[in-house]
Chain A
């Protein structure tokens, strides 16, 4: 049998706490990376499709958001059934819906944004969510959120015409895919 003193016991408990935090963060990053890659591919495709057929932009983005939401639910339920002690996280889904509803209120009711403003607003709005979440769950979210926000603003102010959609496909879609791949390696 092993005998240890109080200091060693406290050190061992501290080691346990640190590794638990590290595993939780690693698992959060693992789930988030899959979600980001999914959304990155969809956003990339959505921007390219809107560039090719601007008249159908509204339908394209309804489709992107529907497929993205279903895909996110599928990932959390089937790929990580025991994440955070449960499968589908209802509170997370409600938070997402409230966030989405507030975005609609700003962009459609108060703001009457045009296509260009919508193209910049939604990515920045979602990246704000990343930055806020990152303050609690991990700095990588903040880095990705700020990076995509800055690149989106650069595009909004300096890239004119339809090329803005191609820029957004690269920085928002591509940024999420690269961010997801990076997060997987952390």
Chain B
């Protein structure tokens, strides 16, 4: 029986985790770039990042670059592991369907 992660399963959160997971360990994405890549709005993206952060799947770092505030989001080790499990579950669903046919 495959187990999907309820937190990651939501489409925008899935895209956020997919985008962060492809980056090397300590590298994150700046909020505006993440917004552009996922096609989300400011408010929507902020809310979903908060959900992922509460679950411990992403780390949010707020800093000033010059006088501009900059928010960087990075996938945590737990987030990467959860994402890998979620992808494996999706693949398992497809594989199981193939076996039944």
Q: Residues 75-86 of chain A: 1 if any B CB is under 8 Å from the residue's CB, otherwise 0?
A: 000000111010
The distance from the CB of B92 to the nearest CB of chain A, in whole angstroms, is 9
Q: Please state if A82 and B27 are interface contacts (CB–CB under 8 Å).
A: yes
| Nearest Cβ on chain B to A23's Cβ, whole angstroms | 5
Contacts known (A19-B19, A24-B22); A12 close to B14, Cβ less than 8 A: yes
Do A9 and B90 form a contact, CB below 8 Å, given A23-B23, A24-B22? yes
A22 at the interface (CB under 8 A from B): yes
Q: Quick one: which of B9, B18, B26 contacts A20, CB cutoff 8 A?
A: B18
State the CA gap A12–B23 with chains docked (Å): 19
Please report the C-alpha to C-alpha distance between residue A15 and residue B39 in the assembled complex, in whole angstroms: 12
Query: A31: shortest Cβ distance to chain B, in Å?
Result: 12
Interface of A, secondary structure class, is: helix
Quick one: which of B6, B22, B29, B38 has the most chain A CB within 10 A?
B22
Interface of B is mostly: helix
**Residues of chain A within 8 A of B23, CB atoms compared:** 23, 27, 82
Interface membership of B48, Cβ < 8 A: no
Chain B residues, CB < 8 A from A26: 33, 37
Query: Among A1, A82, A83, A85, which residue has its beta carbon within 8 angstroms of that of B4?
Result: A1
Residue in B closest to A24 when the chains form the complex, CB atoms: B22
Contact A19 B3, CB 8 Å, known A4-B93, A6-B93, A82-B23: no
Question: B15 within 8 Å of A by Cβ?
Answer: yes
Does A10 sit at the interface, judged by CB under 8 A? yes
| Whole-angstrom distance between the Cβ of A137 and the nearest chain B Cβ | 15
Q: Which residues of A contact B (CB under 8 A)?
A: 1-6, 9-10, 12-13, 15-16, 19-20, 22-24, 26-27, 81-83, 85
Binding site for A on B (CB under 8 A): 3-6, 9, 11, 14-15, 18-19, 22-27, 29, 33, 37-38, 87, 90-91, 93-94, 97
Can you list 14 pairs linking A and B with CB atoms under 8 Å apart?
A1-B4, A2-B4, A2-B6, A3-B4, A5-B93, A6-B97, A15-B11, A15-B14, A15-B15, A16-B18, A19-B22, A82-B24, A82-B26, A85-B24
